[in-house]
Amino acid sequence: MIHIPKSEYSRRRKALMAQMEPNSIAILPAAAVAIRNRDVEHVYRQDSDFQYLSGFPEPQAVLVLMPGRLHGEYLLFCRERNAERELWDGLRAGQEGAIRDFGADDAFPITDIDDILPGLIEGRDRVYSAMGSNPEFDRHLMDWINVIRSKAHLGAQPPNEYVALDHLLHDMRLYKSSAEVKVMREAARISAQAHIRAMQASRAGLHEFSLEAELDYEFRKGGAKMPAYGSIVASGRNSCILHYQQNDALLKDGDLVLIDAGCEIDCYASDITRTWPVSGKFSPEQKAIYELVLAAQDAAFAEIAPNKHWNQAHEATVRVITAGLVDLGLLQGNVDELIASEAYKAFYMHRAGHWLGMDVHDVGEYKVGGEWRVLEVGMALTVEPGIYIAPDNQNVAKKWRGIGVRIEDDVVVTRQGCEILSKGVPKTVAEIEALMAAARAQAA
Ligand code: GLY
Ligand code: MN
Ligand code: MN
């Protein structure tokens, strides 16, 4: 299994601590376990920030960074070993494991945090935390601070500055290291395989969920614990619902099916969309729209390179799509004016992409000082133009209605331009039709 090496977590903690103000402390909780219903829990997924700094996979843990502390800068509060609980729920690292396997300088039982943490915070000037993202933890933090305040008459010094950790941490997360790119390449490779399998299995008479099952099979077989987000398998007019997740309609000949799905490896997402005809053969209208979206995506790739700004790729897709819709007679007028009036938004209502990383819509600012961010080596993003012709759009000829096409790939900015991580899935009309025809011939 490809994963982030232990040494990288240590490097990240050091890099964060180097950016923290002197005499400060950072405190970050693990994700809480979420109850699904009664005794059933949702599959546990670690908090991305916590994971980024620790690689520690358990709930009920709190990470503490204290730059410059002589007795250890990295402390972990976590669950104690417990033979009975481990018999029921699985192994725990315990404090020994936290030190031995996860590089903590010191570790304490999570049940002792109320006794220990106020003493660690006391005397530090600044507290960095993920303010606002976990209200219950924010309350705990204030409780610990109040313990210190209540002892002020004894000379205790509470911190005076509370700083959101996001700004430093999320900027770090925006730049992917070579180890991160390797993991993202693997996630994209498995997801590409999943899309191919779904293409090969596509038949009228199956349901959307049948194709979802093909995706899940490849995800799990590839070692992914779960999809990075709810898979979208949208056939026919459902392809015009951007975040469709019902996935229970019947697949019909003559319809397109749009699949937006990607797996997660070691907490890194992939996010791929392909659209293909259920029957294996595009109709002339479907082909025209498909090739327009593909041309928009190609134009966007050309705008992804160091020193180009974030919005250039989006602007390129808007221009190609607007001009193409005019050529096809779906929009009427002057291309520049249609762009200025945002007339294209009736067909293309989302942006061309987003940052990609541990979160599918990853952290990182899109603008800096009011200006679109300039792309730099190591930034990862999606490129996902689409055209969606509403089934009830009375302004276009009937033959166009209900066609929805999105094509989405994952890229990382390189010195020369960008690397497409998800290039393993066929994309041209000819490639898709050939792949599907071969699958049918084999099945016959
Ligand atoms: N799958 C969600 C997105 O493409 O942004
Ligand atoms: Mn996306
Ligand atoms: Mn997507």
> What's the rounded Cα separation, in Å, for the pair 254 and 286?
10
Which of 123, 156, 173 terminates a domain? The answer is 173
Model confidence at 1, pLDDT cuts 50, 70, 90, reads confident
Residues 372 and 408 in one domain: yes
Q: Which residues are catalytic?
A: 39, 243, 260, 271, 350, 354, 361, 384, 388, 406, 408
Mutational pocket test of ligand 1: of 239, 270, 361, 405, the residue with most ligand atoms within 8 Å of the beta carbon: 361
Instruction: Give the number of domains in the chain.
Output: 2
The mean pLDDT value for 90-115 works out to: 98
Task: Establish if 278 belongs to a structural domain.
Answer: yes
| CATH number for position 245 | 3.90.230.10
Q: Is the per-residue pLDDT at 425 higher than 90?
A: yes
Ligand 2 centroid–CA 360 distance in Å is: 7
DSSP 209-242: HHHHHHHHHHHHHTT-SEESSPPEEEEGGGGGST
Strands 74-78 and 106-109, bridge-based pairing: parallel
Q: Which domain holds residue 133?
A: 6-173
> To the nearest whole percent, how much of the chain has pLDDT over 90?
98
Helix (H, G, I), strand (E, B) or coil at 256: strand
Q: Are residues 232 and 93 in the same domain?
A: no
* Judgement on whether residues 142 and 272 belong to the same structural domain of the protein: no
Same domain, 179 and 89: no
Please tell me the distance between residue 54's alpha carbon and the centre of ligand 1 in angstroms: 27
Query: In the predicted model, what is the mean pLDDT of the chain?
Result: 97
Instruction: Look at residues 153, 173, 193 and tell me which one is the last residue of a structural domain.
Output: 173
Same domain for 143 and 112:
yes
* Residues that place a CB less than 5 A from ion ligand 2: 271, 382
pLDDT band at 203 (very low <50, low <70, confident <90, very high): very high
Q: Which atom of ligand 1 is nearest to the CA of 273?
A: 4
Please state the rounded mean pLDDT for residues 209-213: 98
Over range 294-315, report the average pLDDT.
Answer: 98
CATH value at residue 92 = 3.40.350.10
Last residue of a domain, one of 173, 189, 204: 173
Ligand 2: centre distance to CA 356 (Å): 8
Give Cβ neighbours of residue 23 (< 8 Å, ≥ 6 apart).
68, 123, 124, 125, 126
Q: Are residues 154 and 269 in the same domain?
A: no
Q: Which atom of ligand 1 is the closest one to the Cα of 408?
A: 4
pLDDT at 336: 98
Whether 444 has a pLDDT exceeding 90, the answer reads no
Pocket around ligand 1: residues whose beta carbon is below 6 Å from it? 229, 260, 271, 354, 360, 384, 408
The pLDDT of 320-342, averaged and rounded, is 98
What stretch of H or E contains 381?
Answer: strand 380-383
Report yes or no on 315 lying in a domain.
yes
pLDDT attached to residue 105? 98
Calculate how far, in angstroms, residue 360's C-alpha sits from the geometric centre of ligand 3: 8
Instruction: Say whether both 388 and 355 belong to one domain.
Output: yes
Picking from 386, 357, 352, the residue whose alpha carbon sits closest to that of residue 372 is 352
Say if pTM beats, i.e. exceeds, 0.85. yes
pLDDT digits (tens, 9 = 90+) for 163-190: 999 999 999 999 999 999 999 999 999 9
Is the pLDDT at 100 greater than 90? The verdict is: yes
- pLDDT value of residue 434: 98
Q: Is the pLDDT reported for residue 16 higher than 90? A: yes
Are both 184 and 269 inside the same structural domain? yes
